[in-house]
Structure 1
Amino acid sequence: MTYCAGILVQDGLVMIADTRTNAGLDDVSTFRKLHVFSTPSERTFGLMTAGNLSVTQSVVSLLHEGLANPETGEMDTLLNATTMFRAAQLVGRAIRAVREMDGDAMKEAGVKFDVSMLFGGQIKGQPMRLFMVYGAGNFIECGMDAPFLQIGEHKYGKPILDRAVTYKTHLYDALKVGLISMDSTMRSNLGVGLPIDLIVLRRDAAEPELNRRIEAGEPYFHDLRERWSAALRAAHTAIPRPPYGPPSG
């Protein structure tokens, strides 16, 4: 399984992804699902992937190589895309290209063509944007009213994002809540796990402010998990019992 979350707030963008892949309890591996494409001081994009590993790796490889422009014959890449919208379109084109190459063979073998991606970042002088790209290559954009997008095993980590994140949330508070969201998912689904990859992009900086991997046993993440569990226990204890049924003894 996979869990990835992108949080776009007033100050910038946080992208967080786990690294666990599994084909059963006895076949668990670690693969990077957060990929960074950048031209120093000019643009930085983050791409997070979920779904069939062979499909996602093929898409990422195509994006590194580029896709031939049907009109000019030149190679379109993320590093020469003129806008974030055009870059998101290129991600969609790469997905469709892989489907065209491998889709029929996968169908014959009974393998589902399963892929979704989160793509975000900024080109210097343009707005910072975050998109979710679907398996058909179409996409939607994150907005101010719901300033986050998720892919993969998202249901366990969504409630904390719904309650705690707004567009005006501080950038590193967004990172903290994103890590709590990841912890909630890890506790409820063994298919999501450490290490965790993350990047923080401050708006108009054009380069990552933070690009980090959280390994098992890292003190801050361990402390965050313990504090969040304790806070939940304290919160539910502080809420009065429902006034239903017989009086409590």
Structure 2
Amino acid sequence: MTYCVGLLVEEGIVFMSDTRTNAGVDNVSTVTKMKTWEVPGERFLCLLSAGNLATTQSAISLLEERFAAPAERKPTLLGQPSMFQTAKLVGETLKEAISFTAESGQRADGVFSGSFILGGQIKGGRPRLFLIYPEGNFIEAGADNPFFQIGEHKYGRPIIVRTYDPAMSMNEAAKLLLVSFDSTVKSNLSVGLPIDLQMYRTDSLVRGYHQRIEDSDPYYREISGGWSNALRSAFDSLPPFVPKGHPKAIAS
């Protein structure tokens, strides 16, 4: 399993993904689930993947092979006129990869499944963020749904929902996502460090700040310990529970 997030803020888009992949408790390895492309001054794309690793890597390889060979039958990834058309191409390619990977036709809900978060900007358009499903269709982030998660998202979602503000800086957004990831890592063994972070600033049209965050990273350790302490402090500050009709049931 994995955990990936793409988050829209007014300054741009922040992407984060873990790197753990496993085929059982005794076969754990590190594989990046974040892929970026850029044509400086013209476009920037970031793709996050979750699901069957062979399927998602196959889809990415198809996308890269086709933009490396203009004579191929399908349009190139870096030649699409808009982010919408780019998302459409990625969705079609994912659907194709699942179809020929599965043992008997497409089984989007089976072991050969995969999903993507695609974000970025093409010159002349605004930054856009899409969630692409195994079936090849997709939805777009907006004011009502400003972030997407794929993979093991249930542990980190409440933190984002309660804290997110579209006016927060990308640095604040990165801090928020690190808290979300720390909670997920502590709750699910299939998600683990290192964590890949990518920031994209609106209208820059170049790959922005990127960092791989290791378990030994001082800031990550400070965030992890600080969040645990803050939760304990917040819990202790809440009023005690008193059962109705039994005021003496609690000693303190």
TM-score category (smaller protein)? over 0.9
Q: Report the Cα distance in structure 2 between the residues aligned to 1:179 and 1:170, rounded to whole angstroms.
A: 14
1:57 aligns with 2:60: no
Equivalent residue number for residue 23 of structure 2: 23
Q: How does 1:1-249 map to 2 (within 5 A)?
A: 1-66=1-66, 75-104=74-103, 112-244=111-243, 245=246, 246-249=249-252
Does structure 2 retain, via aligned residues, the 8 Å contact 1:19–1:33?
Answer: yes
Q: Report the Cα distance in structure 2 between the residues aligned to 1:106 and 1:73, rounded to whole angstroms.
A: 24
Does structure 1 retain, via aligned residues, the 8 Å contact 2:16–2:197?
Answer: yes
Return the letter of the residue paired with 1:138.
Answer: N
Q: Report the Cα distance in structure 2 between the residues aligned to 1:149 and 1:199, rounded to whole angstroms.
A: 15
| Structure 2: gaps of 5 or more residues | none
TM value normalised by structure 1 = 0.92
Given the superposition, is the C-alpha separation of residues 146 and 107 from structure 1 closer, same or farther in structure 2, using an over 3 Å criterion? closer
> How many Å apart are 1:133 and its aligned residue?
0.3
Return the letter of the residue paired with 2:34.
Answer: L
- Aligned-residue RMSD, C-alpha: 2.0
Name the SS for the 1:21 alignment partner: strand
TM value normalised by structure 2 = 0.91
Return the letter of the residue paired with 2:13.
Answer: L
Name the SS for the 1:47 alignment partner: strand
Select between 155-164 and 58-67 the one with higher mean Cα deviation: 58-67
How many residues are aligned here?
244
Return the letter of the residue paired with 1:36.
Answer: T
Does structure 2 retain, via aligned residues, the 8 Å contact 1:106–1:113?
Answer: no
> How many Å apart are 1:248 and its aligned residue?
2.9
Given the superposition, is the C-alpha separation of residues 145 and 169 from structure 1 closer, same or farther in structure 2, using an over 3 Å criterion? farther
Q: Report the Cα distance in structure 2 between the residues aligned to 1:74 and 1:135, rounded to whole angstroms.
A: 22
> How many Å apart are 1:211 and its aligned residue?
1.2
> How many Å apart are 1:161 and its aligned residue?
0.5
Q: Report the Cα distance in structure 2 between the residues aligned to 1:230 and 1:73, rounded to whole angstroms.
A: 56
Q: Report the Cα distance in structure 2 between the residues aligned to 1:217 and 1:192, rounded to whole angstroms.
A: 16
Q: Report the Cα distance in structure 2 between the residues aligned to 1:212 and 1:238, rounded to whole angstroms.
A: 36
Does structure 2 retain, via aligned residues, the 8 Å contact 1:20–1:192?
Answer: yes
Q: Report the Cα distance in structure 1 between the residues aligned to 2:28 and 2:105, rounded to whole angstroms.
A: 22
Q: Report the Cα distance in structure 1 between the residues aligned to 2:99 and 2:154, rounded to whole angstroms.
A: 31
Name the SS for the 2:88 alignment partner: helix
Name the SS for the 1:66 alignment partner: helix
Return the letter of the residue paired with 1:40.
Answer: P
Q: Report the Cα distance in structure 2 between the residues aligned to 1:113 and 1:142, rounded to whole angstroms.
A: 26
| Structure 1: gaps of 5 or more residues | none
> How many Å apart are 1:106 and its aligned residue?
8.1
Does structure 2 retain, via aligned residues, the 8 Å contact 1:21–1:29?
Answer: yes
Name the SS for the 1:32 alignment partner: coil
